[in-house]
Structure formats: structure tokens, C-alpha cells
Amino acid sequence: MLGAVCLALLLGYAYGCGQPAVPPLLGTRVVGGEDARPHSWPWQISLQYNSAGTWRHTCGGTLIDPSWVLTAAHCISSSMTYRVVLGKQVLSEDEPGSLAVGVEKIIVHEKWNSFFIINDIALIKLAEAVQESETIQPSCLPPAGLILENDYPCYITGWGRLRTNGPLPDTLQQALLPVVSYDICSQRDWWGSNVRPTMVCAGGDGVTSGCNGDSGGPLNCQREGLWEVHGIVSFGSALGCNTVKKPTVFTRVSAYIDWITEVGAPS
């Protein structure tokens, strides 16, 4: 009996939110990014659509609960059939611990505006709850309203292009993207009025950034020892993925905690 209790405690520790069983290797520089350590971002998902019988990666997303995934509204089209693939490192390989799950419903924010790219957030309810494991674990959500300070170290992860107009990588990428404060990011020579207080910027050094295919994926920030999803990849510069003073812009998750709760997902 004591052994079973100890095992339960160990499993509870290993599979809590924001506590990957395989810790990520930090300090790496998506554009200019490097291969992530396998299964070190176990909440990262691949959102895939069906095209003539073939499943294709279109966006990233974040598992926040065994039944719910957070992604960007601009990733969703009512005409598409989607599935969520979890526990992946290399998209083209049949990997132990990976899982493809159907979608029960998708909830796009009711005030999503594709012209101004406002409220770029959506929730996906999985057709069945996934079992947490070393390869599949949820990220934590940040406290409502929390704003990280300028230059706070965060990481973007995804299967987005390695450079502007470049190929899509098969292996999950990670890149260090420090937060850029709203005061700086909203300056005229940065993003100006395109950036709203409900967004968070990260990067902008002209070397590392998000790119096509990273959309919907997380801005991962560690706080008090736990990894939280602080952003959802929303948009970048039309001048190129790694343009100076044009950091990747994310939907700020802490601005939408009440909405996440209202639509029924755990927060």
C-alpha cells in the first residue's frame, strides 16, 4: 500500500501542469531556432487539416487540460476538418507516445476580428480526453491580468518555417524570444497602433522569430518553477519573419482567462 501511495505521488509530480518529465534544453537561439529536446514541450500540439485524405500540419496549439487545446482564431476555417496530434517530435514519423485525436467542437472568440487581428484566440475541445504521460502533459495558464516585464526570457516552439519562404521543418523547433514591453512594442518604429494591450510581443532582434506554421502555438514562459502559456502566436511582419523591431506578436493569454472560464475550459 505504501508503495502505491509513493507511486501516485511520483506520478502526480511528474504529470502536473507545466512540469515536463523531460526538461527542455534552454538558451538556444523557430527562425534561427534549433531542434527541441524530444518531448520537452509536451503540451505542444500539431493542428492538422484533412486534404484529399491526407492530414497536413497547419498550426500549433497548447494542451491546457486533457480535453482542451488553446490556439489562434485565424487558424480555424469552418470548411475544414481538423484533428489534434499530441506527443510529437518529428511530424512524419510514427513515434511511441504520440496520439491523434478528433475534434468535438471549436470555439472561436465571438469578437475575433480578422482585419485588425484582435481577439485572435480559439479553444478546441477534443473528442476524447487524453491520458497524461511523459510525452503528453498540459501547460499551466498564467494568472488573469499578469503582464511579464520587458526582456523576460520566454520560448517559442513549433513546426513553422525556418526562414522567410523557407521549408517547413519536420522536427519541433524552439527559440528564445524575450518579451518586449507594450510601451516599446507600440512605438511608431516598432508595431505602433497595430499592437493592443491584449497582445504581447517577443523577439524583434532580427535573428529569431515565429514564422508561417508556428501560428497558434505557445509562448512558453517559466514562472515560479512552472511553465505557463503566456502567448498564442498571432502575427508577424509582411517584410519577413525575422525583421528588426518587428517582434512576433502573440495574443496575451492572461487577458482571456475569464473568457476561457466562461466557455467551459478549465483555468
Active site residues: 74, 120, 215
Backbone angles phi, psi at 10, to 5 degrees: -65, -45
Residues ≥6 apart with Cβ < 8 Å to 35: 171, 172, 173, 174
And the C-alpha cell for 224? 515560479
